[in-house]
Amino acid sequence: MTDFLAGYVVPPGAGLAGDPGMKASKRSTGGALSVFETTIGAGPPLHVHDHEDECFYVLDGELSVRCGSDTLNAPAGSFVFLPRAAAPTGSGPRTSPPGCS
């Protein structure tokens, strides 16, 4: 028999496991996904996700995302999808002209 996950709501300003930024975890989704609410400063160094895709929903400001040789500029309200194992990726606030990382 399969155990089914229960639906849940995370109220505004709250999170899972005492972390207000964690909205869904490997544990709460049966390993399907993790969701975090965060503010991106300088962004992470270039990296590759071997097993999971990466997504961003930009709430405020503008995000510059590098995926391989492409630079994607995403203003507030944009959704960004980066496929797993495709190319090194990195992100940060957009403070330079398009095409620069």
pLDDT at 2: 57
Q: How many CA atoms lie within 13 A of 50 on its CB side?
A: 0
Q: What are the pLDDT digits (tens) for 42-66?
A: 777 778 888 888 888 898 989 888 8
Give yes or no: residues 32 and 67 share one domain.
no
Give yes or no: residues 90 and 57 share one domain.
yes
Give yes or no: residues 59 and 79 share one domain.
yes
- Look at the chain and report how many structural domains it folds into: 2
Phi then psi dihedrals of residue 51, to 5 deg: -120, -10
Residue range of the domain that includes 31: 1-38
Would residue 95 be called left, alpha or beta, if left means φ above 0 and alpha means ψ between -120 and 50 degrees? alpha
Give yes or no: residues 13 and 47 share one domain.
no
What is the mean pLDDT, run by run of 10 residues, along the chain of 101 residues?
81 94 91 87 79 87 86 92 74 45 30
The predicted model scores a pTM of 0.69
Give yes or no: residues 31 and 71 share one domain.
no
